[in-house]
Amino acid sequence: MKIGLLDVQGCVDLHIDHFQALGVKIQRVKQVKDLLECKGLVLPGGESTAMIKLIKEGGLWDPLKNYVNEKPVWGICAGCLLLAKKIQAGDQDSLGVLDVEMTKNGTGRQVKSIAGEISDYPVFYIRAPIITKVSKVAKIYAQKDKNPVWIVDKNIMVTTFHPELGHPRPSPIHHFFLNFLAGPL
């Protein structure tokens, strides 16, 4: 099995160690043909505006939108914003497939980044979006300050935090995504 990792911008390399620790092959997704080989896809954290620009310039926008409508996908931080139906931060574009509302950079500037724990594992909130509204069918797996930070809705999983920065490897969140690929939880 191969898991795709969108590789246009952002925190890509650290995820590879986590998935390799689980015995999973990674396909870096830079072109449309790369998507075809993947059972699931990770949209990493990074800078969402830059990601959108590079995705569109690379001809990935429409194929990516089709992919995330059908196959398992995990959006992390900026990857959450790429998936959200509504972003409360101007007119940023998104794939609009996840029935949530988010506030971009809701936790503040980068200097206000914080660490936390999910499932006794260290995670990091770096200019993280805040999920302000969630579909009634979405399952919330973790919250911080009464806001969801990890949700699953149908074929989409999102985390507003970065688990790839933590140790040891693999993170329980990467392990969860691998199980998520196997079918409904």
Indicate if 11 belongs to the active site: no
Say if CB 93 and CB 52 are below 8 A apart: yes
Cα separation, 71 vs 16, in Å, equals 20
Say if CB 166 and CB 121 are below 8 A apart: yes
Residue length of the chain: 185
Active-site hit among 15, 77, 80, 174: 77
Active-site hit among 15, 18, 80, 164: 164
- Hey, what amino acid is at 183? G
Write out the two tokens for 137: 């069918």
Name 113's Cβ contacts closer than 8 Å, sequence gap at least 6. Answer: 107, 124, 125, 126, 127
Indicate if 18 belongs to the active site: no
Active-site hit among 15, 18, 80, 162: 162
Indicate if 162 belongs to the active site: yes
Which residues are identified as catalytic?
A: 77, 162, 164
